[in-house]
């Protein structure tokens, strides 16, 4: 005890103990006024993930946090002066070797401030990651059209630029692609020349695959074709005595390509003129097309094929009854007229089918002129004209006409004879050729004032009627129709008559037609 008592009684010891007690008291006071505390700061995490490109790797899924938590401790007054920007913390991807790496460690934070603090920890200390190898592969782009085109239009050609698309992506994405489609929705297209398509990636199950990035522009070029009618263009005329029975050309429609603004106004294409001059036999010809500027054939080798059927005109003999003969310029007050013949004949020329129909039912206008004939038997020429403009009629017939004078004592007897021999089926006086091959005769009606424009008065000495021959060179697109128009004159005082071997009487209907009865 003596040693301890002696030691404590020393001045130096007393001083040291006093200092220690003062420090202790100071810390006690400090802990009360400025206690020691902990704090958690959210600090941005720095990464160099782009370094994976040089390693041929890519991070699958973005599970790298933007921030991490740092726990620090220190006096309250000091912690109040510490901020998140005072720290630097990073995840270094240089430590990754291959795609099999499953996590990355977060490095120790660095404090850039001056306050006396203690860094106690980081949360999280590591990050779980998934890596995949990046691969490159090439795919052909297939165009696909959705929607309807305008009427008569079609797609002649479709091109995708580029035709081959090179994709660089993670291996699982590349392996999932089976085909790539450039989809063009026509309902959304205004300019059919160049279209920006919607790119769709399909897997082997035919389902669309998402998440594929394209780093280049894809353009679809459309070449439009329009279907237009072909107009056959001919020149020249076939040989005399022949006609074009039929003409066929093939194709009747062709596809042409060009600018849309030109195609929109184009409806027909003409052939080059096809020369038919002097042809007598059936022929098959070819012709090119007359194409407008900036218009081309969809098929550059296409030509128009023309088949021409050429037939000769035929001539056949026909007969007709004298009932069809009308009598002009008869003096009914002083004479009666009788025709002794019963049938007459002539030649009909035209197309075979028309001639055959004509022979069955000759649609012919026939008349005689009895002007200035006195009592007796006279040989009078018969004038004729076909009412069928497709037929040429040639006759050289004449008939014997018996003219008898009406005497006063026989007047009543003659009137009775006329009345008892009225023709119940009168033959009308057909109108001169009107350009139509068919028609119906008007019903007869009495008219004391015959129309001079309807009752033609031939010359006193008519010659046998020879109708016009068919045009030797008819237009190939129109069947030849001989234009037969007999030259007649009108006489308002003339009284036409018709005779079937008996006395003659006539009447005129409301339209001016002469009917023989």
Report cis status (omega within 30 of 0) of the bond before 188.
Answer: no
Q: How far is 193 from 150, CA to CA, in rounded Å?
A: 15
CA-based torsion, 366, 372, 376, 379: positive or negative = negative
Q: What is the largest CA-CA distance in the chain?
A: 213
3 state DSSP class of 113: coil
Q: What is the pLDDT of residue 78?
A: 85
Report cis status (omega within 30 of 0) of the bond before 124.
Answer: yes
Torsional class of 353: left (φ above 0), alpha (ψ -120 to 50), beta (otherwise): alpha
Q: What is the pLDDT of residue 20?
A: 78
Q: What is the pLDDT of residue 425?
A: 37
CB 329 within 8 A of CB 494: yes
Q: What is the pLDDT of residue 495?
A: 37
Beta strands in 276-428 (DSSP E): 283-287, 289-290, 295-297, 304-312, 314-321, 325-328, 335-339, 343-350, 364-369, 376-381, 383-386, 392-394, 398-405
| Beta-strand pair 198-202/219-231 | unpaired
Q: How far is 328 from 456, CA to CA, in rounded Å?
A: 8
What is each CA distance from 314 to 269, 293, 347, 366, 390, in whole angstroms?
36, 47, 10, 22, 12
Q: How far is 393 from 51, CA to CA, in rounded Å?
A: 105
CB 162 within 8 A of CB 218: yes
Q: What is the pLDDT of residue 72?
A: 92
Helix (H) or strand (E) holding 512: none
The dihedral formed by the CA atoms of 470, 473, 479 and 480, expressed in degrees to the nearest 10: -10
Specify the pTM. Answer: 0.53
Q: What is the pLDDT of residue 354?
A: 92
Question: What's the average pLDDT block by block, 10 residues per block, for the chain (517 residues)?
Answer: 56 74 68 79 93 90 90 87 92 90 91 88 92 93 91 91 92 92 85 85 92 88 93 94 94 93 92 94 94 92 95 94 90 91 89 92 91 93 88 88 82 43 37 34 32 33 36 37 35 38 38 40
The model's pLDDT over 165-215, given as tens digits with 9 standing for 90+, comes to: 999 999 999 999 999 999 998 887 776 778 889 999 999 999 999 888 888
Q: What is the pLDDT of residue 440?
A: 30
Q: What is the pLDDT of residue 10?
A: 66
- CA neighbor of 482 nearest in space, from 494, 471, 496, 495: 471
The dihedral formed by the CA atoms of 182, 185, 190 and 191, expressed in degrees to the nearest 10: 30
CB 124 within 8 A of CB 109: no
As to burial, measured by CB atoms within 10 angstroms (0-12 exposed, 13-18 middle, 19+ buried), residue 396 is: middle
As to burial, measured by CB atoms within 10 angstroms (0-12 exposed, 13-18 middle, 19+ buried), residue 466 is: middle
Q: What is the pLDDT of residue 460?
A: 37
Q: What is the pLDDT of residue 242?
A: 94
Q: What is the pLDDT of residue 423?
A: 35
| Beta-strand pair 325-328/364-369 | parallel
Helix (H) or strand (E) holding 183: strand 179-185
CB 239 within 8 A of CB 313: no
Q: How far is 285 from 262, CA to CA, in rounded Å?
A: 30
């Amino acid at each position: 005890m003596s040693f301890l008592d002696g030691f404590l009684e020393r001045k130096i010891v007393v001083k040291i103990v006093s200092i220690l007690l003062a420090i202790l008291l100071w810390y006690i006071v400090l802990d009360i006024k400025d206690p020691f505390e902990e704090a958690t700061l959210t600090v941005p995490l720095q990464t160099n993930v782009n370094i994976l490109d040089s390693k041929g790797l890519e991070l699958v899924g973005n599970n790298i946090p933007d921030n991490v938590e740092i726990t620090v401790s220190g006096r309250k007054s000091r912690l109040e002066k510490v901020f998140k920007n005072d720290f630097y913390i990073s995840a270094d991807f240089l430590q990754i070797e291959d795609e099999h790496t499953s996590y990355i460690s977060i490095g120790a934070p660095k404090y850039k401030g001056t306050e006396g603090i203690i860094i106690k920890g980081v949360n999280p200390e590591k990050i779980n990651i998934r890596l995949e190898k990046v691969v490159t592969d090439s795919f052909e782009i297939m165009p696909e059209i959705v929607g309807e085109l305008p009427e008569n239009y079609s797609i002649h050609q479709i091109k995708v630029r580029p035709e081959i698309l090179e994709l660089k992506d993670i291996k699982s994405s590349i392996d999932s692609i089976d085909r790539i489609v450039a989809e063009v929705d026509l309902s959304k297209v205004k300019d059919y020349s160049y279209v920006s398509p919607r790119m769709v990636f399909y897997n082997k199950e035919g389902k669309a695959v998402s998440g594929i990035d394209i780093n280049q522009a894809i353009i679809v070029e459309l070449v439009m074709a329009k279907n237009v009618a072909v107009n056959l263009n001919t020149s020249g005329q076939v040989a005399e005595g022949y006609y074009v029975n039929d003409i066929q050309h093939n194709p009747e429609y062709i596809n042409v390509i060009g600018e849309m603004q030109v195609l929109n106004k184009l409806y027909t294409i003409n052939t080059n003129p096809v020369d038919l001059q002097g042809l007598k036999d059936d022929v098959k010809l070819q012709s090119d097309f007359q194409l407008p500027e900036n218009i081309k054939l969809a098929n550059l080798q296409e030509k128009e094929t023309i088949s021409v059927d050429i037939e000769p005109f035929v001539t056949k003999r026909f007969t007709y009854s004298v009932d069809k003969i009308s009598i002009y310029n008869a003096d009914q007050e002083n004479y009666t007229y009788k025709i002794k013949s019963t049938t007459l004949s002539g030649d009909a020329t035209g197309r075979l089918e028309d001639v055959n129909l004509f022979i069955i039912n000759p649609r012919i206008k026939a008349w005689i002129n009895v002007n200035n004939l006195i009592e007796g038997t006279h040989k009078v020429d018969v004038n004729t004209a076909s009412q069928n403009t497709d037929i040429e009629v040639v006759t050289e017939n004449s008939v014997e006409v018996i003219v008898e004078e009406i005497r006063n004592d026989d007047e009543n007897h003659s009137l009775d004879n006329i009345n008892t021999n009225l023709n119940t089926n009168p033959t009308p006086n057909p109108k001169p050729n009107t350009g139509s091959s068919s028609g119906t005769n008007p019903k007869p009606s009495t008219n004391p004032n015959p129309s001079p424009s309807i009752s033609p008065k031939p010359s006193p000495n008519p010659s046998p009627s020879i109708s016009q021959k068919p045009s030797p060179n008819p237009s190939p697109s129109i069947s030849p129709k001989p234009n037969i128009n007999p030259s007649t004159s009108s006489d308002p005082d003339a009284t036409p008559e018709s005779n079937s071997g008996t006395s003659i009487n006539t009447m005129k209907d409301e339209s001016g037609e002469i009917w023989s009865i």
